[in-house]
């Protein structure tokens, strides 16, 4: 349902303090045990019936219309009630689809609640595998076994397109990036992308090498979106505020710079600890400086194959 009076930024839950977004590494049980009672869901309107929801954990995309609500990611289980309240502010239709951008718990934590309530959960097949270690022990990193209702019921290999609420919603798997199951979601008519955790606006990414991620895939994901962007493109990052192509371009350039520096250290035979000690990001940390060591280690591991 459209609401012409809907303000561009409307705080659903009143006047609580600013929300501090959880770090990308804070997936799963640790973050899930945080107190969610003070979290509020902020709704950012992108078009009449297309929204970004921000709370705790990965940013959510929301398409509403006569067909039903379509969610991209669902944060943590204790937030499902607040997320559904935010959805109900803009539509009287139920959540019919949940698309997961990857398996991390700060993006899939609401799956069990929403799947149990009848939503169809869709994700890349590696998301299903990583959430289901009982069946796929070969690919397991740090994931716990998900409840049956939390598992995707539809999976795909390369991509899928939804024709829903009068939109074509294009979903593309981007290979080994933040994990091995990341997708980028494109709303062509709205000129909006949701990049999941292949994009952390304004800070170093978390690259989950243990889940099949790698720096080259993160760079490729950024390039894919930049190639399809125009001046008016808006990009929902996995974490951080709504972004424009210029923010993604700066992020891509930073990634390429660090990749080049670490690659040259690797080529010179440096060990992982020696690469960290060489501080290859020292001139960048002032801008991007959220945990450079973790980032540098992930880049090293991606390039050295360790």
User: In the complex, which residues of this chain contact Zn ion (CB under 5 A)?
Assistant: 104, 197
User: Minimum Å distance from CB 182 to Zn ion?
Assistant: 8
Choice between 173 and 270, CB closer to Zn ion: 173
Cβ-based burial of 91 (10 A; exposed 0-12, middle 13-18, buried ≥19):
buried
DSSP conformation class of 15: S
User: Minimum Å distance from CB 113 to Zn ion?
Assistant: 19
User: Minimum Å distance from CB 46 to Zn ion?
Assistant: 22
Choice between 180 and 197, CB closer to Zn ion: 197
Choice between 58 and 292, CB closer to Zn ion: 58
User: Minimum Å distance from CB 27 to Zn ion?
Assistant: 6
Choice between 74 and 197, CB closer to Zn ion: 197
Instruction: Tokens 């991606």: give the residue.
Output: 302
Q: What's the sign of the alpha-carbon dihedral 176, 71, 252, 278? A: negative
Report d(CA 28, CA 106) in Å as an integer: 6
Alpha-carbon dihedral angle through residues 261, 266, 272, 274, given to the nearest 10 degrees? -70
Choice between 104 and 234, CB closer to Zn ion: 104
Give the pair of three-digit tokens for residue 132: 């289901």
Q: Which of 213, 246, 251, 218 is nearest to 232 (CA)?
A: 246
Whether the CB-CB separation of 301 and 266 falls below 8 Å is answered with no
User: Minimum Å distance from CB 14 to Zn ion?
Assistant: 29
């Amino acid at each position: 349902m459209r609401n012409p009076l809907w303000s561009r930024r409307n705080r659903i839950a009143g006047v609580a303090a600013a929300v501090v977004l959880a770090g990308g590494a804070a997936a799963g049980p640790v973050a899930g045990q945080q107190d969610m009672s003070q979290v509020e869901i902020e709704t950012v309107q992108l078009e009449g019936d297309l929204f970004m929801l921000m709370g705790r954990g990965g940013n959510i995309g929301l398409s509403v219309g006569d067909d039903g609500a379509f969610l991209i990611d669902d944060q943590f289980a204790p937030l499902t009630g607040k997320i559904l309240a935010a959805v109900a502010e803009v539509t009287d239709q139920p959540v019919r689809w949940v698309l997961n951008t990857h398996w991390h718990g700060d993006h899939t934590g609401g799956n069990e609640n929403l799947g149990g309530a009848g939503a169809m959960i869709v994700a890349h097949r590696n998301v299903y595998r990583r959430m289901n270690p009982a069946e796929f022990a070969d690919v397991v990193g740090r994931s716990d076994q998900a409840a049956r209702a939390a598992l995707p019921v539809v999976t795909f290999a390369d991509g899928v397109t939804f024709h829903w609420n009068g939109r074509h919603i294009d979903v593309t798997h981007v290979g080994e990036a933040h994990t091995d199951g990341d997708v980028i979601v494109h709303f062509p008519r709205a000129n909006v992308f949701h990049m999941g955790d292949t994009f952390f606006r304004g800070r170093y990414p978390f690259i989950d090498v243990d889940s099949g991620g790698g720096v080259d895939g993160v760079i490729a994901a950024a390039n894919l979106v930049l190639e399809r962007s125009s001046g008016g493109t808006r990009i929902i990052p996995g974490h951080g505020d709504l972004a424009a192509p210029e923010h993604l371009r700066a992020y891509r350039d930073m990634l390429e710079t660090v990749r080049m520096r670490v690659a040259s250290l690797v080529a010179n035979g440096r060990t992982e600890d020696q690469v960290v000690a060489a501080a290859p990001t020292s001139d960048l940390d002032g801008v991007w400086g959220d945990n450079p060591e973790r980032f540098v280690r992930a880049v090293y591991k991606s390039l050295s194959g360790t």
